[in-house]
Structure 1
Amino acid sequence: MTTLLLIRHGVTAATGRRLGGRTQAELSDDGRAQARRAGERIADLPVKAVYASPLARTWQTAELVGAAVGREPVGCDGLLEVDYGRWTDRPLKSVARTKMWPVIQARPSLAAFPDGETIRAAQLRATDAVEQLVARHKRGVIVAVSHADVIKTLVAFYLSLPLDSFQRLHVAPASLTVLSLSVGGQPALVRFNDDGPLRGTDFRPPARRATAKGRRQ
């Protein structure tokens, strides 16, 4: 069983104001502090590897998290932010006035960003990347530093939620989402959008229960 720790990057100067996309915005001072705290939260866990979207904000977050767990980050293009095309780095107030915005909020499975990516394509890309990481690390704890929309699509996939439900999920900066995964096995969501204290015992597989006939299940 692989324990996947999904961490959203810390804040930048544009967080909450602009649709960042695939820009090279760097972490703000607050974002760096958030990333350090995220690393401190998992410092006692036996992390085998730290993977990250190669954009500046995720890479800087991964470097700070990696320093806390003694791992150098490894780039993973599958964890990249959604390609928002011509919407990249536009003010959120501006894109919220477009005809496409209500579709993106209510029916994201039908949305394609101008000269960019569809949400569905981003979900498939990210899921393929995670499946490869799980196959590479069949046991133990690994970290993947990514972006809010990407993490939301991954949670929707592994919980078998319709993609149109993913906008109902919220992933805060530097928060932790934990999935328990295995190749071909039943996925489990252990924690979501979490910023509380962690212990290694929090990620142990659930104990098997005894049936009336004494068998374990």
Structure 2
Amino acid sequence: MTVILVRHGRSTANTSGLLAGRTPGVGLDDRGRNQAEDLPRRLESVVEDLTAIVRSPLQRCGETLEPLVAVRPDLTCVTEPGLEEVDYGEWSNRKIVDLLKEPLWKVVQQQPSAAVFPGGEGLLDVSRRATTAIRALDRIHGGPDGNGVWLACSHGDVIKSVLADALGMHLDQFQRIVVDPGSISVIQYSPSRPYVHTVNNGGVLNLPRPTKQSGATVGGSTGQ
């Protein structure tokens, strides 16, 4: 079972240096719309194989997927609350340059598992709900033979937490992962362990062929 994780395209909040969080009305900027229009081309090798398209309920994720859904109108784009952006509480819609002065900023950077946003949620809770949602959806959309490919569109910290889980990393290390707007990351879930194939891909996706082997290839991938 393989999930393609897409971070939404660049948003107006990204451009303005704001931490949007769940603030309503935050859509894509011009570059973000171009990234959305280009997504079907970047996913051309797998578009026809997709078994499902799932997204965060927020506007910027919906706008990112509109061109892809137009190519696969037979697939209903389903919203999943577990993939929603972090609830940053009182930090929402504030300038990041101002948040740098907050004592909590160092905790977010150095020990994110202990970070709880005032009036919002903790990053540990984000990790738990996002990874639970992804793994549950993967069991549904993986297909009868376990070789299904599906897509989920979400947000930077949410995707980073899912990747950290798949990599076997403690959440306190997840700030080492970079997930840019419009980027693609890929995880294959197998009975033995997750395999992370792609992180922060800004180009065309070349998805590896599904494998039924029970472990990693000795000596490394053959590149097929």
Both structures adopt the same fold (TM-score exceeding 0.5): yes
Cα 1:194–1:133 change in 2 (3 A) is same
Superposition TM-score, scaled by structure 2 size: 0.87
Residue 81 (structure 1) aligns with: 85
Q: Distance in 2 between matches of 1:180 and 1:101?
A: 33
**Which AA in structure 2 matches 1:11?**
R
Q: Compared with structure 1, are the counterparts of its residues 164 and 173 closer, same or farther at alpha carbon in structure 2 (3 Å cutoff)?
A: same
How far apart are 1:65 and its partner, in Å?
Answer: 2.5
Deviations 1:114-164 (CA, angstroms, capped at 9, x unpaired): 010000000000011111101112331100000000000001111110101
Q: 2:182 aligns with which of 174, 184, 188?
A: 174
| CA apart distance, 1:69 | 3.8
Partner of 1:4: 3
Unaligned runs of 5+ in 2: 219-224
SS in 1 for 2:13: coil
Retained in 2: the 8 A contact 1:63–1:72? no
Work out whether 1:22 is the aligned partner of 2:25: no
Find the aligned partners of 2:7 and 2:175 in 1 and give their Cα distance.
16
Distance 1:210 1:195 in 2: 26
Instruction: Give the SS at the match of 1:129.
Output: helix
- Residue 55 (structure 1) aligns with: 58
Cα RMSD (Å)? 2.0
Q: Using the TM superposition, give the Cα deviation of residue 31 of structure 1 relative to its aligned residue in structure 2, in angstroms.
A: 0.6
- TM-score for both structures, normalised by structure 1: 0.89
Moved over 6 A (4+): 206-211
- Take 1:62 and 1:129, find their aligned partners in 2: how far apart are those partners? 19
Name the counterpart of 2:42.
41
Q: Hey, what's the Cα distance between the residues in 1 that align with 2:58 and 2:10?
A: 13
Instruction: Give the alignment of 1:177-188 within 5 angstroms.
Output: 177-182=185-190, 184-188=191-195
Counterparts of 1:164 and 1:192, CA distance in 2:
18
Q: State the one-letter code of the partner of 2:211.
A: P
In structure 1, what is the Cα distance between the partners aligned to 2:21 and 2:11?
12
**Is the 8 Å Cα contact of residues 39 and 67 (structure 1) preserved in structure 2?**
no
Range moving further from structure 2, 70-79 or 6-15 = 70-79
Shift of 1:110: 0.7
- The whole-number CA distance in structure 2 between the counterparts of 1:147 and 1:119 is 13
Aligned to 1:147: 155
SS in 2 for 1:14: helix
1-structure distance, mates of 2:87, 2:52 = 26
* Match status 1:192 vs 2:204: no
Counterpart residue number, 1:204 = 210
**Per-residue deviation, 1:210:** 10
2:35 alignment partner AA: Q
